[in-house]
Amino acid sequence: MTATVDFTLPAELEAHEPPEARGLARDDVRLLVGRRASGEISHHRFGELPTLLTPGDVLVVNTSATLPAAVPVLNADLRLHVSTKQPDGSWLIELRTAGGPFRDAVAGQRYELPGGASVTLLEPYSRGRLWTAAFDVPSVPRYLLEHGVPIRYGYVPRQWPLPYYQTVFAEHPGSAEMPSAARPFTDRIVTRLVSAGIQFAPILLHTGVASPEAHERPYPERFSVSATTARIVNQAREAGNRIIGIGTTAVRALESAIEGDRVVPAKGWTDLVITPERGVRVVDGLLTGFHEPMASHLDMLAAIADEPLLMACYAEAVRGGYLWHEFGDVNLLLP
């Protein structure tokens, strides 16, 4: 299924810089809440989150940290976005021009990179704009930490330092792009949530590069769900408490670790695509950013919230001037 939530996103609703640059704290972005049972939509600040949840709720959070995964190409007017390490040691990469994906790449082409490094294209990846590639450096993550900058797209006009692209839960470097739904969380919000009886269950999923031009189905990503998280989630469900994913990455990982009706420890690669037809099996709600028209992630949101509520939330977000993208506002979808 392709998401049918279509709308016009006014240019002024694109967040061009972090909220800190707009005079706000991280945890002071706006929060639009939609409730499936009643159809009610309400407007809040993110700092109100502890009052909007119920003691016993479990928040599933992604502990992946963002890599500075963009580097300039020295022998061409291109930028290299480093995505996902493959099981054979090669990497998925995307070459981009100022206007979008570079479509004229050929296998065997070698591109020079800063620090005397290079990357060689091996073969096109099955999705088209991505390539498998080989780097001539001992460690690609270490190389990126020295020479890379965070990936950004045209709606963010200037470069921001890496800490602006990390969440409070970030522990394990590996994501090409920030798991941005968790960006508004701060230590003080986490403390208030714990004091209110809210539990946290960590998962790990390293994100690949997004496609702002072509809304493709998600491709396989590395994930891990621990025995501790499986136990927390299963016990909460047995007690009748709600499981709320913090971001689509958290939902994809958790829903990839199910046997029967229980969450089990799991790690490896997931190619799970959540649609309204497939549905969700353990997740009851979702906190997420606002996605672009017809984005594939909207299928997951429709599976959790149902499409009429989702469409109403997006219409209200546009009407109310909410901001989109990784530095924008957030949407909480509850049962």
Residues 35-61 have pLDDT tens digits of 999 999 999 999 999 999 999 999 999
Domains defined for the chain, CATH in brackets = 11-66+161-334 (3.40.1780.10), 70-147 (2.40.10)
Q: What is the dihedral of CA 175, 203, 87, 94, to 10 degrees?
A: -20
SS3 93: strand
Closest CA to 282 of 259, 301, 266, 299: 259
pLDDT of the residue at 2: 47
Count Cβ atoms within 10 A of the Cβ of residue 159 and give its class: 0-12 exposed, 13-18 middle, 19 or more buried.
exposed
Residues of the chain with pLDDT below 50 are 1-2
- Location of structure tokens 């004091």: 195
Whole-number Å distance between alpha carbons of 121 and 112: 12
pLDDT of the residue at 80: 98
What are 263's strand-pairing partners? 258
- pTM of this prediction? 0.95
Whole-number Å distance between alpha carbons of 118 and 295: 33
Task: Give Cα 50 to chain centroid, integer Å.
Answer: 22
Task: Report whether 199 contacts 229 (CB < 8 A).
Answer: no
Whole-number Å distance between alpha carbons of 261 and 295: 29
